[in-house]
Structure 1
Amino acid sequence: MDTLKLVEEKLPTLSRQERKVAMRVIQDPDSVKQMSINTLAKAVGVSNATITRFVKKMDCHNFYDFKLKLTENHSTNSNKVEKGSIPDEVFSFYKHVLNDTWESLDVTSLRTIVDLISKCNRIYIFGIGSSGYTAQEMTQRLLRMGIAAFPMTESHIMYITSGIMGKNDIILALSTSGNTNDLNRAAQAAQLNGTKVIGITGIKKSPLYELSDYPILVKNSNFVDNTRFINSQFAITYALDIITTMLLENKTYSDRMNHTVEMILDNKFRTK
């Protein structure tokens, strides 16, 4: 497995100090390849022993062995965020996130999920914080297609609602970290009633990814750069855009969507 992909995959299993090392490797592998163990330890604020434990968890004998594997697996120009004007940097950032998400998505799995949404009685879209805003926006799309969708953006309401869900309902759970405890507990409670869970997350082997009946892995934007305010929902939105576009291949959904758009436009012009 590619060394960077391995670090991303094992991130949830690492200690807090080891995660500091992992994030530096993921975000700036080219500079890490040039560092000594002492330099890296000082740069991220950990001990040499922490780095040694980290590289052993990456199946390497020592830090030198880890750097060799990193060099072998990672091209210098691979998905590098180019430094230039701010628009150039943001574009490069999004290109990186989009490309890695595109590579991880499986069309057959997405088709299965679309079929599941088409046949369900109700779909509950879980999301807290930024993911809550994305959940609300996705709910609006589905409602315009005539699909019974309900946004769940508050943990207490999530848990209460999970108790009344049935086997013909589904949950679409959104969480970049996959480690939102209240969201995960509510989803698991609903599964006891036979409700299927579609989980979209940016970390493989996270609690949400593991519990989901239909997991979707997208690129975690923090793996590119967590030092600036960049849209953390970009990769999730891309996956939802694909699902939406697939749903609109259904003529009934497409007609309903067009009808609601016409109604909205008509109402806007009439009120002016």
Structure 2
Amino acid sequence: MSDIYKDINSNYERLSEAEREVVEFILKVKDIESLKLKDIKDVLYVSNATVIRACKKLNYATFSEMKEAFIQARDAKQKNCSAESEFVRVLDGIKKDTITTLELADEKNIDQICNCLIEARRIFCVGMGSSFLAASEFNHKLTLLDLWGNVYSDKNSIEYIPQISKEQDVIVVFSSSGQVDEINETIIKAKGNGTQIIAVTSMSANKLKSISTYSLLTGSSGSQKKTRSGLMLHVMSTLVYEKILTKVSSV
């Protein structure tokens, strides 16, 4: 597909003064589909031959062919602008949710959670579905800090936790909705053992938040709410990891 603007740039010096007027006139036309040779003649007082010569010097055999090139260039530009606008919308949404999530972080609460994790004998990282990725990543970060951790993502392994969890243990639950029955029922049982529960969940009212010892809340909005929620779980877990890192390094 020919690029009319490149053709004009490459061949502009070849155009006569009258032919340049023709091209510059067409560049200013908004409704290019309805443009006719007669319109150019009536405004610029040039002949059909002048217009055709301008077309041929730009490597277009006819006026219709050159007009189609202008239409294609306009449509491509609009498409690019639309794609760019969508990208900006998504980018702004992620920025907004990230800022909201970080603003929800309370320093005292984060400090208590970090101390709880550092002093824990064992840390059970729990997450199902898309939340498993956040749980797995956080578990990996714990190993980098020489803290004992293990990740639980399927129903059977999660239900086994209350049978082995003790008062010195901590369960970190990653759940955007906070409404997963299999997880919440297990958490209640484990809490009966004296195990402390840290919930990383959305700021909306949910059961997980109400039954946990500590909560780390995240913000998410927009049409990609589920995806954004998962991303915000990672943001909050990274904040906790960085805070623990500063505590461990200062010892």
Same fold (TM over 0.5): yes
Q: Which residue of the partner structure matches residue 266 of structure 1?
A: none
Is structure 2 residue 218 aligned with structure 1 residue 224? no
Separation of aligned partners in 2, 1:201 and 1:94: 17
2:246 match: secondary structure? coil
Separation of aligned partners in 2, 1:187 and 1:251: 28
The letter of the residue matching 1:236 is L
Q: Which residue of the partner structure matches residue 246 of structure 1?
A: 243
Q: What is the CA distance between 1:247 and its match in structure 2?
A: 0.9
Aligned length in residues: 170
Identical residues among aligned pairs (%):
21
Structure 1 residues 126 and 226, CA gap change in structure 2 (3 angstroms): same
The letter of the residue matching 1:218 is T
Higher helix share: 2
2:197 match: secondary structure? strand
Is structure 2 residue 175 aligned with structure 1 residue 178? no
Separation of aligned partners in 1, 2:250 and 2:150: 17
Q: What is the CA distance between 1:84 and its match in structure 2?
A: 4.6
- Do the aligned partners of 1:247 and 1:253 also contact (CA within 8 Å) in 2? no
Task: Name stretches of at least 5 consecutive residues in structure 1 with no aligned partner.
Answer: 1-82, 255-272
- Do the aligned partners of 1:146 and 1:253 also contact (CA within 8 Å) in 2? no
**Equivalences for residues 19-98 of structure 1 within 5 A:** 84-98=84-98
Separation of aligned partners in 1, 2:224 and 2:95: 16
2:177 match: secondary structure? coil
**Equivalences for residues 95-244 of structure 1 within 5 A:** 95-219=95-219, 221=220, 223-226=221-224, 230-244=227-241
User: Deviations 1:102-142 (Å, cap 9, x if unpaired)?
Assistant: 22221110010000000000000110001111111111110
Ranges of 4+ aligned residues in structure 1 off by more than 4 Å: 251-254
1:92 match: secondary structure? helix
1:241 match: secondary structure? helix
The letter of the residue matching 2:198 is I
Q: Please report the TM-score for the alignment, with normalisation by the length of structure 1.
A: 0.58
Q: Which residue of the partner structure matches residue 18 of structure 1?
A: none
Q: What RMSD, in angstroms, separates the aligned Cα atoms of the two structures?
A: 2.2
